[in-house]
Structure 1
């Protein structure tokens, strides 16, 4: 699974989403849009959003720390 997290160093929701992924032992690539203008352009092209965090999970775009949607896409849901 290919996961990219578009974020900034100071964004509290970005920090939370990355901590959540790490806690669940999910590897991801991080792109800081403040340091990488191309990443910012790429993120806005994919999501239509200027705010972070934005996750790209195998082409599925999730805006914000939407835990329910992240779990659904990653099949982390505890539903039986």
Structure 2
């Protein structure tokens, strides 16, 4: 794994930015948990509670060492590079 952070993405199968984000993670060998909010109402509600909106992708990067997390709505490559300490 390229990072020691936990990555979660809330996505839908038809979302192009979700696909780009997941390709980015795969390219950088970042392990992530993917929740399909189109087919999973529980995770959709969880995402809505966290963000107050229905746009995807929602990406949460958590640091298990200090219990801090950052949320990105959309695919922001530069922000992900910084958060994940990627080159």
TM (normalized to structure 1)?
Answer: 0.90
Question: How many aligned residue pairs are there?
Answer: 77
Structure 2 unaligned blocks of 5 or more = 63-68
1:46–1:61 Cα contact (<8 Å) kept: no
Structure 1 unaligned blocks of 5 or more = none
Q: What is the root-mean-square deviation in Å for CA atoms of aligned residues? A: 1.0
Runs of 4+ in 1 over 6 A off after TM superposition: none
Q: Which range moved further: 48-57 or 26-35?
A: 48-57
Aligned-partner Cα distance in 1 for 2:49–2:85:
26
TM (normalized to structure 2)?
Answer: 0.83
Aligned to 1:36: 40
